[in-house]
A and B are shown apart, each in its own frame.
Chain A
């Protein structure tokens, strides 16, 4: 199967990216190298093309119907604000994680690229009048210097705070910009017409602070930030409570319920799930990968769902689902890699501190 091509394809090629298949699209995995790109994003500003993600809109009146599919308070979401939420199955498993924004005229959803087709079918089956905006590109500008670089091009974005969004204009091109991202750094996500994305990306890349960053560093950045990746750390067999995402169950919804799997999820919230997602710091230098077995007291006690090397930490780190008895911070356990057992410690996440620019408490 030929990979689908995204709006910035020719720009990636011109910038020397190595392209790989990801979610059916040809995507840049790296430009100069994952470690250099990772460190650049942590110290300056990195530009990511995330146009493979699904950009959807719903009528404002669909908020109640949307709440029947996810545990977030959408009715109470204020205009210009984002909420992280989860599409749930009836057993409480996670079908996708997504961002929901209430705008003046609609609800704007950003869903994962690999799941967007299934998400569309799921939303439509629930009777929602959903529009898939395939004519939009999505860029992320992330890092401590993102605000300065973007504000020079799009005056006023510096006034946004974390998880807030607004409409902007760049040379007549409509931009929808949120202060959000998936790297643990301060930064922005910019939705814009696909046919103007290359010109806008090149304008950002002309800034001395900004370099293009591939999917490889996007993965190592989100891993260091302790952020779970759908299809790996989150699946239809994992509940939000097991995943450590209780914050995504809004206060009102905890009282009212009415979302798929509510009985199971609220029971786990009140008690304790049998397993939980934890961070692991691995002794030594050898990385552990997704699929590696976690051993506690010589017995299998869990599974690694994401693992690699943390470039800003200089050590191997991982996320794993581990039996409740072994989830306390400081617990010593082992991870089996190619028949060898590596010692590891349960540690709090994020592995690397987040640097969000928060506004007033919401």
Chain B
């Protein structure tokens, strides 16, 4: 299992060609209280860098971009009843969707945890 990050504050945890996508702790702090998450249904194709999910805070709706391309295999059903999981446990229980990577070489363009931490510290 390897963890990658984007400059838009999404993470993808990869095991072979299976990825799990969510937003980072920094992102949830910026979003504020999450009240609804619109996640893509299983079977949806997502493209790297394209809007794949929408997270709604009290104040506003924000797009979440897929870190990699692929086909969604599962949306996190727990977010429907408890969207605040994105705030309380963004990098574990608050995951958004799982997908099968269609272009694993895209991972080369993402940051590892150390690089992401440095990036966040620079903001």
Residues of A within 8 A of B (CB): 29-30, 33-36, 38, 216, 219-220, 285-287, 289, 308-309, 311, 316, 338
Contact = CB atoms under 8 A, between A and B. Distances in A.
B59 A33 contact: no
A311 B54 contact: no
Contacts of A35: 33, 58
A228 to B, nearest CB: 18
Interface residues of B, number: 14
B76 interface: no
B36 interface: yes
Interface of B: 32-33, 35-36, 38, 54, 56-61, 80, 83
A286 B34 CA distance: 11
A220 B58 contact: yes
A285 B61 contact: no
A285 B60 CA distance: 14
B82 to A, nearest CB: 10
A34 B33 contact: yes
A34 B61 contact: no
A303 B99 CA distance: 36
B38 A308 contact: no
Contacts of B38: 286, 338
B83 A34 contact: no
Nearest to A290: B60
Contact of A289 (B32, B35, B60): B60
Given A34-B58, A285-B83, A216 B32 contact: yes
A218 to B, nearest CB: 11
B35 A287 contact: yes
Contacts of A338: 38, 54
A219 B59 contact: yes
A355 to B, nearest CB: 21
